[in-house]
Amino acid sequence: MFQKKTLIAIFSFVYISFNSQEKTNILWLVCEDQSLFFSSYFDSIAKTPNLDELASIGIVYDNFFAVSPVCSPSRSSIATGMYPTTIGTQHMRAYKKNKGSINSKTNLPIYSAVPKRKVQFFTEILRANGYYCSNNSKEDYNMEMSPLAWDESNKNAHWRKRAKNQPFFSVFNFNITHESRIWKNHEKHSEEDINKIILPPFFPKNHTIKNDFVTNYKNIEKLDEQVGEIIEQLKEDGLYDKTIIFFYSDHGGPFPRYKRSIYDSGLKCPLIIKWTEPKIKPRNDQMISFIDLAPTILELTKSQTIHKMEGVSFYNQNNRDYIFAATDRFDEFTDKRRCVRNNEFKLIINWDTKSSAMKPVSYRKNMKTMRILDSLNDLKKNTNSMENWYKNTKPKYELYDIVNDPYELNNLSSNKDYDNVFNELKKKLNDWIDDSDYGNITEPKMIEEMWPSGEKPDLKDPKIIKTERGFKIISNNENSSLGWRDSPNENWQVYLKEEIIYPKNNFEIIEFSPGYGSKKSLFKI
C-alpha cells in the first residue's frame, strides 16, 4: 500500500509541475531487438556511459512490454495506441511499399490493414497541435503510413529543421542492434569476452552461441555511442533541459526464443525516461504496454484527440493490472498465440497445438546461434527447454509463475494448485480476444473482409464549402484524416474538423484512411 501511495504522490507532483509549464519537446531514441541487456537492468557487460547517464538523471521502468515480439506489428501499436490484433496489423510483412501485389512467401496479396475502429497516427494529432514531428528514419507499421504523420521522415530528419521556438517530437531509430547485425557484424571474439557470458538456462552452453552474445553486447556499445551523439546535439542547441527523452526497444532481444517469442524474452523491453522535472525515484515498477506510449505523449504535449485509443497514459496513472500480447504470422510461418500477464503469472493460449513453437523462419537461419541449435537438436543434444521448443506439438495452455520462473520453463497449467490463477487469467484473455481480435479469422478471410474481391477500397472526394472568410473541408469518408497546402513545395497541414482555412491561391487537399491509402485533389479558387 505504501508503495502504491508513494507512486501516486510522485506522479501527482510530476503532473502538476509539468502542467504549469509551456509545451515541452519530446525525443525518442529507439533501438531494435533488445531485451534488458543494459547496465540499468543489472547487466554490466556492455559499457554504455551515455545511457547510464540518462538513467542516472531519469527513471528506469522495470515492466515495459511490447504487444508483439516482432517489429512491424509493434510499431503499428506505438503509432496508433491500438493493439495490432484490433487494427489488423498483426501479420509480419503484410505491407510493402513499392513491391508487387503478391507476397512471394505466403502467396497472399500485399495489403494495408483496414481497422474496424477509428484509428489515427498520433503524430497527426501532435502536428495539428503545433508540434514539428520528425522521424529518422524507419517507417515499418505493417500498413501504409499517413502522409500527414510527419513533417519529415527520412535519414536526414531532425528537430533542427523546425520553425524557431516550435516544439518538437523527434524520433531517431538505431539499426545497429538489429538481429541482422549479429551475423553482419560477426567476428571471433576473445576468450576473455566469451567467458563473461552467462547464457540463459534454456540455451545449451556453447562457445558459438556465447560469441553471438558478445557481438550483441558490442553492438549495444556502438548504439550507446550513437545515442550519445544525438544527446550531444540536443545539449549544443540548449534544449537538453527542455526535452523529455525516451529510450526504448521495439521488442525483445535478437536471439531465438527472444525475437518472435511470446515469452518475456520477446516482449519485455528497456525503457528509460529523462523527464524535465527533478527525479524523485530512480525506478518505476508500473506495468506499461506499447499501446500506452501514444496516449502518454498526447497527455505530455497537451494534445487533444477525439479518437479513443486502447492504450492509456502512464503519466500520472496507477499500475495496469494486465498486459496482453499476440503472435500471428512471422514471414512465411503462422503461429497464433495470445497471452495475458499480471505481476506474478502469465497465461498463454496456443491455437495450433500440432506444430512446434520453433518456426524455421528463413531469415533467422542467417544467425550462427540458430544453426547451432538446429544441429544440436538433430543430434538430440539440446537442453530440455530447447527440445520442448522444437517439439512438433504444443500444449493448449501454458501458465508460468513469473516471479519464481522468470524464463518461463515450468508450465503450471495442469497443476490444480493454480486453478484459481488459471481461471482468472483465462477469462481476462478470452474477454480481450472476444473484444476485437482480427486473429479470430484466417489471414485470407481477413484480407477479403478488408479488401473485398482483393481490391483496395476507394476514398470519396471531400466537400469544399466556401465561407465569408475562407473555406471548410468536409470528409465524405469514415475513419479518415484531412490535410491541405498552398503549394506542392510545402508540408501538408493537418486539417481540424470545422476549421476555416485561408489559402493564398488554388490549394491541394489530401485525405488519408488506414487501408484505403491517400487521395489528393486540387481545388481551384
Using DSSP bridges, classify how beta strands 59-65 and 283-289 pair: parallel, antiparallel or unpaired: parallel
How is residue 432 annotated by DSSP? Answer: H
Q: Is 31 a catalytic residue?
A: no
3-state secondary structure of 11: helix
What DSSP letter does each residue of 119-152 carry, written as one string? ---HHHHHHHTT-EEEEES----SSPPPTTS-SE
Based on its alpha-carbon atoms, the radius of gyration of the chain, rounded to whole angstroms, reads: 24
| Residue 498 Ramachandran class (φ > 0 left, ψ -120 to 50 alpha, else beta) | left
Cell, residue 260: 518472435
3-state secondary structure of 323: strand
Per-position DSSP letters for 166-232, written without gaps between them: --EEEEEEE-TTSTHHHHHT--PPPHHHHHT----TTS---HHHHHHHHHHHHHHHHHHHHHHHHHH
- Residues 6 or more apart whose CB falls under 8 angstroms from that of 246 comprise 26, 27, 28, 29, 271, 272, 273
> What would the 3-class secondary structure string for 486-511 be?
CCCCCCCEECCCCCCECCCCCEEEEE
What is the grid cell recorded at 465?
464549402
Task: Give dist(CA 472, CA 484) in Å, integer.
Answer: 11
Q: How many residues does the chain have?
A: 525
Exactly one of 31, 71, 269, 339 is catalytic; which is it?
Answer: 71
Tell me the three-class secondary structure of 259-313, residue by residue.
CCCCCHHHHEEEEEEECCCCCCCCEEEEEEEHHHHHHHHHHHCCCCCCCCCCCCC
Please state, in angstroms and rounded to a whole number, the distance separating the CA atoms of residues 491 and 152.
Answer: 8
Distance in angstroms (rounded) separating the CA atoms of residues 140 and 93: 9
Cα-based angle 514, 518, 520 (whole degrees, multiple of 5):
160
Q: Cβ(358)–Cβ(256) under 8 Å?
A: yes
Cα 371 from chain centroid (whole Å): 28
- CB–CB of 96/86 below 8 Å? no
Active centre residues (catalytic): 71
